[in-house]
């Protein structure tokens, strides 16, 4: 967003760039292989039915915060069970560094906890194809200061999710990456997969955005 400030030399205006709220699409999963984002130069990971893991690598360090958007998420296991999406930083799956919390605003009851894990765990989803072709999940995660080297030995993120048949209420989330100096490093890579080695279902989409120029 650009605003114009009055004042100063008579008859002139000053252009001020406001960069705090701008969202820039950096990469998104695609059913096609070999595509890239024209703005960031990042590769768009291929997402097809049966994909096991999604990797966003070489994330640009030119923005302050990062948004991860999850659209129409569903696994493809042929059952009526729920599974969680897992995600981790910089290819680090060392145990005892990841803490995840989820709870419903409507009830205040904790819904999902995972401590001392080798990755973060996000919301539960079904295979929407086994449930009358409905109820895929939606959600988002914000990682503040993803491109900065931190001065403390933890990195935090937060988000929200929604699935009509999982708790029936929007769920708020908090994430803590902790307990080693590696957590201070800027985020240059993010990985995503389902727990229990189930796979992504057709229609699932993950998108990342940069927020605010540094």
pLDDT digits (tens, 9 = 90+) for 43-64: 999 999 999 999 999 999 999 9
Total of domains in the chain: 1
Residue 11 lies in a domain: no
Would you state the pLDDT for residue 4?
A: 37
Mean pLDDT comparison of 19-23, 166-170, 192-196, highest-scoring range: 192-196
Give the model's confidence band at 137: pLDDT under 50 very low, under 70 low, under 90 confident, else very high.
Answer: confident
Would you state the pLDDT for residue 114?
A: 82
Would you state the pLDDT for residue 105?
A: 61
What is d(CA 189, CA 36) in angstroms, rounded to the nearest whole number?
16
Residue 122 lies in a domain: yes
Q: What is the mean pLDDT of the chain?
A: 84
Q: What counts of helices (H) and strands (E) characterise the chain?
A: 0, 14
Residue 138 lies in a domain: yes
Q: Please name the helix (run of DSSP H) or strand (run of DSSP E) that holds residue 213, with its range, or none.
A: strand 205-213
Mean pLDDT of 171-194: 92
Residue 101 lies in a domain: yes
Is the model's pLDDT at 31 over the cut of 80?
A: yes
* Three-class DSSP category at 125: strand
> In this structure, what DSSP letter does residue 45 have?
P
pLDDT per residue as tens digits for the range 148-181: 999 988 999 999 988 776 666 788 899 999 978 8
Residue 13 lies in a domain: no
Q: By percentage, how much of the chain surpasses pLDDT 90? A: 52
* Three-class DSSP category at 69: strand
Residue 2 lies in a domain: no
Is the model's pLDDT at 130 over the cut of 60?
A: yes
Mean pLDDT comparison of 14-18, 115-119, 141-145, 162-166, highest-scoring range: 141-145
> Tokens 């999940």 appear where?
137
Is the model's pLDDT at 123 over the cut of 80?
A: yes
Neighbours of 167 (CB within 10 A): 20
Task: Please say whether the beta carbons of 89 and 56 come within 8 A.
Answer: no
Domain of residue 44 covers 22-213
Residue 14 lies in a domain: no
Mean pLDDT of 103-109: 62
Residue 186 lies in a domain: yes
């Amino acid at each position: 967003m650009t605003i114009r400030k009055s004042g100063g030399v008579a008859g002139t205006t000053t252009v001020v760039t406001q960069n705090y709220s701008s969202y820039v699409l950096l990469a998104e999963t695609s059913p096609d292989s070999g595509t890239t984002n024209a703005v960031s130069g990042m590769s768009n990971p291929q997402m097809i039915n049966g994909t096991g893991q999604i990797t966003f690598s070489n994330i640009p360090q030119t923005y302050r915060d990062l948004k991860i958007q999850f659209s129409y998420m569903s696994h493809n296991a042929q059952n009526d069970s729920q599974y969680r999406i897992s995600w981790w930083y910089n290819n680090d799956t060392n145990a005892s560094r990841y803490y995840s919390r989820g709870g419903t605003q409507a009830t205040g009851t904790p819904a999902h906890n995972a401590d001392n894990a080798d990755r973060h765990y996000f919301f539960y989803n079904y295979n929407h194809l086994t449930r009358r072709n409905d109820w895929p999940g939606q959600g988002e995660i914000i990682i503040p200061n993803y491109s900065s080297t931190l001065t403390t030995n933890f990195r935090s993120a937060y988000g929200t999710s929604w699935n009509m048949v999982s708790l029936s209420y929007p769920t708020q989330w908090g994430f803590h990456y902790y307990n080693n100096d590696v957590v201070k490093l800027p985020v240059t890579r993010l990985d995503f997969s389902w727990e229990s080695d189930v796979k992504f279902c057709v229609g699932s989409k993950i998108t990342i955005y940069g927020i605010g120029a540094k």
